[in-house]
Chains A and B, each alone.
Chain A
Amino acid sequence: MSEGVNPSPKQTLWGVPFHTNNVIGGLIVVALGIVLLAYALYVPSNTTVARFMTAAAIVIGLAVAAGLLPVRSPRDFYGGIVLALLAILALIASAELPGQRGFAFGPGTAPRLFAILLAGLGAAVALGGVFVEGPQIEKYKIRGPVLVVVAILSFAAMIRPLGLVPATFITFIISIFGSTEMRWLESLIAAAVMTVFCVLLFVWLLNLPFQLWPRYY
């Protein structure tokens, strides 16, 4: 399996050396942290712990961008940081829920418990990424993910107003563009066959209440 991007190129700007990947990665962490911090400040309940944790993440992000903190395994480092940020998000989102009352757990106890656990685990994974040498992040591709997601979202948008038949057919055609090997005739035939198959299976055989064609037609 190819290991994607080359080690990040070392460049200099105004005499200061920097690694492009670290700057981008660090700044993304900072940006996510700022969004979280804003959310924590917006929520009326007490989010002191979450604010401190977010601030720590922002500082770490800045340190990485400035080249002060080496990232030996970007895959683990950023993976761990994002999980920790997710945990902080959960912490803020469950801040307003009542916690322990007497011996009984409140609705907020378990989420906060596991959020703190996850924050710790994420930090540990990230720490491993600082100290242990590891592979670069595999390069993200654009075409496949975008077209697959667009196809799925367009299905969600079309199914109510347009009905099953157009939604299925168009989704099939959009998603087929995700591959670079698409051929028109073959794709159109396959899309038609699949549409017929789905109608037969879901509507005729399974008797699910689908609307087949556009409303008002």
Chain B
Amino acid sequence: MSDLLANLAMGFGVAAQPYNILFCLLGALVGTLVGVLPGIGTVATIAMLLPITFGLPPVGALIMLAGIYYGAQYGGSTTSILVNIPGEATSVITCLDGHQMARNGRAGAALSIAAIGSFFAGCVATVLVAALGAPLTGLALLFGPAEYFSLMVLGLIFAVVLAKGSVLKAVAMIVTGLLLSMVGSDLETGAGRMTFDIPELADGIGFANIAMGVFGFAEIIRNLELPSESRDILKAKVTNLMPTRQDLIDASGAIARGTIIGSLVGILPGGGAVIASFAGYTLEKKLSKHPERFGHGTIEGVAAPESANNAAAQTSFIPLLTLGIPPNAVMALMVGAMTIHGIVPGPQVMTKQPELFWGMIASMWLGNLMLVVINLPLVGLWVTLLRVPYRLLYPSIIVFCCIGIYSINNSPFDVVLSASFGIIGYWLIKHDFEPAPLLLGFVLGPLMEENLRRAMLIARGDATVFFTRPISGGLLTVAIILLVLAAMPKIRRRRDEVFVE
């Protein structure tokens, strides 16, 4: 316990350095901005900003990127409540009651409860990340290559089963990502693999190229063919930001439950903030004495999902920071960011770079505090920004992405490469393939191959080692059970229902 406090104190020492506070603030603001604007996803934004963070010190860069992630959860609710369009996928469900509250003239209360709920959830999740960090890291340090490989398999399977869409197709996407990650020089022998004699491919496909192509460019192409949405922005001025005492009493239970369920879902790979918000809302509706009020502007319907998504956004850092396994696409980008700064994500981060680990955790709490303090007064500004039409927004994103990609290696080839991944991403969307598992597979690819090779070498070529070693065998068994469960018709139907709702 005293260790924990000492570590947190060190973390706050790092996070409170003026530069880091600035990065945290910047990240939170940018996050809120993209959260507010529909049509720009968190993944695309973090991919876009990756090149900018190259010049920063690693701690500052990661603090900023983390800020974007939870800031976006925050900003998404603003658009949901005021415009009835979710700014982020995680705020889809907040539209239901949030916008109704706004129509009833209680936009201020809805916004402030969303903020307070998020802040509370953020505080709890920060403590959870700090508390679970040490024991999980200790566990991970006991793992050998076989266990590590199996753990990654389990993580990927979890990510697939808990995400929406066909499990088979998602597994196919993971393997595609793994294959793509093998393009370039072999780690051990240096032999060029699948490079088609293109010298630019000798170093492998850049992580940012795939991320920006598949998430940035493909999304834009996709959005261009959808009919432009009319944004019916609430004209009335938002007044009365303070919730009444009754509001706080009504919402407190929902905030607490949303935080708990969000934290749990966030730790599981694949789930992340989207599922958390749905789970939080559904639970609240089931437990409520007046379920009929949901959908007509009840404050619990805003408090629960907003607390849950923020809690999940933060606890999803746990598998990344302790085990080195990214549970969702955003965390995969964080792996990319860490790798670029020469940090190998995994249990050794905590022991080798404690100031990075604890500084990031402490900055999450600071960031959440800033979001509450800054954002409520800035609601008016965000609403103004919503008036920028998409037809001007997307060319800006394209230009920004182009410059960003080019600046990584000063290579026009990288820009061409990400354009091709834009086309591939568009094709994937048309054929109903999720791009997120592809990115996860791509990021985990080198690590998986390395551990697979090492495990096989240690076991003298005996492939059964993955099942005969107890921990590894247990992890793989769980993975197989999960896959079988997801494939069973009854459960599959139930799963489809959950995601349709």
Contact = CB atoms under 8 A, between A and B. Distances in A.
Interface stretch (A8-16, A29-37, A52-60, A133-141): A133-141
B193 A107 contact: yes
A182 to B, nearest CB: 7
A111 B412 contact: no
A133 B16 CA distance: 58
A208 interface: yes
A121 B392 CA distance: 41
A200 interface: no
Interface in B422-439: 422-423, 426-427, 430-433
B188 interface: yes
A107 B432 CA distance: 33
Interface string B434-463: 000000000000000100110011011100
A103 B454 CA distance: 10
Nearest to B195: A93
Contacts of A86: 176, 179
Contacts of B168: 121, 124-125, 128
B391 to A, nearest CB: 4
B172 interface: yes
Report the 3 A-B pairs with minimum CB-CB distance, sorted nearest first: A79-B431, A144-B224, A107-B186
Given A75-B432, A94-B193, A144-B224, A164 B460 contact: no
Interface string A178-192: 110110001100110
Interface in A83-119: 83, 86-87, 90, 93-94, 97-98, 100, 102-111, 114-115, 117-118
Contacts of A137: 430-431
A186 B392 contact: yes
Interface in B374-404: 389-392, 394-396, 398-400, 402-403
A145 B431 contact: no
A198 B419 contact: no
B194 interface: yes
Interface residues of A, number: 76
Nearest to B401: A152
Q: Looking at chain A's contact residues, is the secondary structure mostly helix, strand, loop, or mixed?
A: helix
A113 to B, nearest CB: 9
B172 A110 contact: no
Nearest to B417: A156
A105 B422 contact: no
Contacts of B390: 179
A207 B52 CA distance: 10
B482 interface: no
Contact of A144 (B175, B182, B225): B225
B199 to A, nearest CB: 16
A117 B452 CA distance: 15
B191 interface: yes
Contacts of B459: 103
A216 to B, nearest CB: 19
Nearest to B189: A107
Contacts of A111: 179, 182, 193-194
A198 to B, nearest CB: 6
B449 A110 contact: yes
B416 interface: yes
A38 interface: no
Looking at B186, B390, B402, which has the most chain A CB atoms within 10 Å of its CB?
Answer: B402
A157 B415 CA distance: 9
Nearest to A193: B396
A79 B311 CA distance: 36
A79 B169 contact: yes
Contacts of A145: 221, 423, 426
B169 A118 contact: no
Contacts of A121: 168, 171-172, 175
B284 to A, nearest CB: 28
B456 A105 contact: yes
A90 B403 contact: no
Interface string A157-183: 101100010011001110110110110
Contacts of A28: none
Contacts of A155: 399, 402, 406, 415
Contacts of B55: 206-208
A152 B196 CA distance: 23
Nearest to A127: B168
A153 interface: yes
Nearest to A128: B168
Given A75-B432, A94-B193, A175 B423 contact: no
Interface in A69-84: 75-76, 78-80, 82-83
A149 interface: yes
A172 B391 CA distance: 11
Contacts of A90: 179, 194
Contacts of B119: none
A157 B194 contact: no
A22 to B, nearest CB: 16
